[in-house]
Structure 1
Amino acid sequence: MTSKSLTELIAEADERALAASGLACLDRCLPLLVDEMDVLRPLWSGIAAGEDGWADRLATARAALDAVPAADEAAAPVRQMIGAAPSEWVAERLAEWASACSALALEVHQELDPTDGADGPLVAGEERRQIQILEILLATEGTAGLRRAMDLATEGRRVLRAALSRRARSQS
């Protein structure tokens, strides 16, 4: 069995999977902007509630992240991801957002990758996590899939935080 590409998985995903995929990318890149990681937890819960919980929780998450002063330009992609999130629970809009978040997260990881290449370990790990999250969400109904997606996002956040720490040490 051949694995599907990110593009194929996004094309097959429903609203729940698309929202979670975009949010997971944002969540993994959050260390660029803020140390407080629980800011997105209510939005994860909003995905479980579907359309009913999405718009209000998205507005709350945006407001919380907008209140955080950006330390540097590296935080711009995180702000771009949350700002581009659609308030409407519509597959087409969520697919556009999930695709854009995927691309931005891969770019962020490429910039931090010690090999400075598109095929480096940070980029490969990020792409693998994005695929795993979509595969899990496509195969798993309910909150179990969301919990696993959150776990993978947390793992990716730790990896990015470590990459940021290495970069900071090498620049000092």
Structure 2
Amino acid sequence: MSHESLSRLLSEADEDAALISGGMCVYRVLPVLSWDAPPELYGSLTEPSEWNPETLPRRLREILEGLRDGIDAERFEEAPEEIAELYAMASEMVLRFFGDDGAEIAEWSDWCSSLALDIHQQLDGFLEDDDASSGPVFITAGTQPALTPLEEAELGDQISTLVRLGSSDHIVRRSVVEIAEQGNARTRSTLERVAASL
């Protein structure tokens, strides 16, 4: 499991797989977008049934439009800076889909992949104790820094999602929603821990 494997799978994905992969990244960080929001703001858009990979390619724009309409940075003016930073990254995953630069689906999916990994890395960083272990880490030249636990989990989810989307078996393809649900729950519980520690 590595960034190289993920990059290869993303480059080989067809447009539908790229759309679904990007959508699953968004779904896993939905707790960040919906943090401290009234339940009715997003309604059914947070339900797993809305993210069925069989219908997602033709419905994703509609779903993302609903999420975009709920984005409100002012809601985070009094929130801890750490939470607001995560919200900005999660919002960008949605907004970039509608950007004026005309980004291709593959580019958007790659962008979602990177931001989702960054969000998980940040969540781990916020949970670190303020002690010597969280001080400067020196990386030997020519080596890559170790993945944080949540970043590694997200990387694994993205790779598993793309592998399953490459299957011709509809049951295997639909199982990507289960992966996304587990990731969504992971993000929610971690975000609650972060908020409680601030």
TM interval, short-chain normalised? 0.7 to 0.9
CA contact (8 A) 2:20 2:57 kept: no
CA contact (8 A) 1:48 1:146 kept: no
What do residues 12-58 of structure 1 show as CA deviations (whole Å, max 9, x unaligned)? 1111111111111111111112055732558635862644x444444
CA contact (8 A) 1:20 1:47 kept: no
Tell me the residue number matched to 1:150: 177
Tell me the residue number matched to 2:118: 107
Tell me the residue number matched to 2:24: 24
Q: Structure 1, unaligned stretches of length 5 or more? A: none
1:75 aligns with 2:87: yes
Tell me the residue number matched to 1:138: 166
Would the alpha carbon gap of residues 147 and 11 (structure 1) be closer, same or farther in structure 2, given more than 3 Å must change? same
Would the alpha carbon gap of residues 140 and 59 (structure 1) be closer, same or farther in structure 2, given more than 3 Å must change? same
Would the alpha carbon gap of residues 13 and 163 (structure 1) be closer, same or farther in structure 2, given more than 3 Å must change? same
Count of residue correspondences: 164
Paired AA for residue 30 in structure 1: L
Of 29-38 and 73-82, more deviation after overlay is shown by: 29-38
* Superposed structure 1 runs of 4+ greater than 6 Å apart: none
What do residues 64-107 of structure 1 show as CA deviations (whole Å, max 9, x unaligned)? x33684452320111100111259xx9x8111011110110111
Q: Quick one: distance in 1 between partners of 2:87 and 2:165?
A: 27
Would the alpha carbon gap of residues 54 and 126 (structure 1) be closer, same or farther in structure 2, given more than 3 Å must change? closer
Tell me the residue number matched to 1:163: 190
CA contact (8 A) 1:86 1:94 kept: no
Q: Quick one: distance in 2 between partners of 1:83 and 1:47?
A: 23
Q: Quick one: distance in 2 between partners of 1:49 and 1:28?
A: 15
Q: Structure 2, unaligned stretches of length 5 or more? A: 129-133, 135-144
Would the alpha carbon gap of residues 13 and 40 (structure 1) be closer, same or farther in structure 2, given more than 3 Å must change? farther
Higher RCO (C-alpha under 8 Å, 6+ residues apart): 2
Q: Quick one: distance in 1 between partners of 2:54 and 2:65?
A: 13
Sequence identity (%) = 31
Tell me the residue number matched to 1:66: 71
Of 4-13 and 117-126, more deviation after overlay is shown by: 117-126
Tell me the residue number matched to 1:44: 51
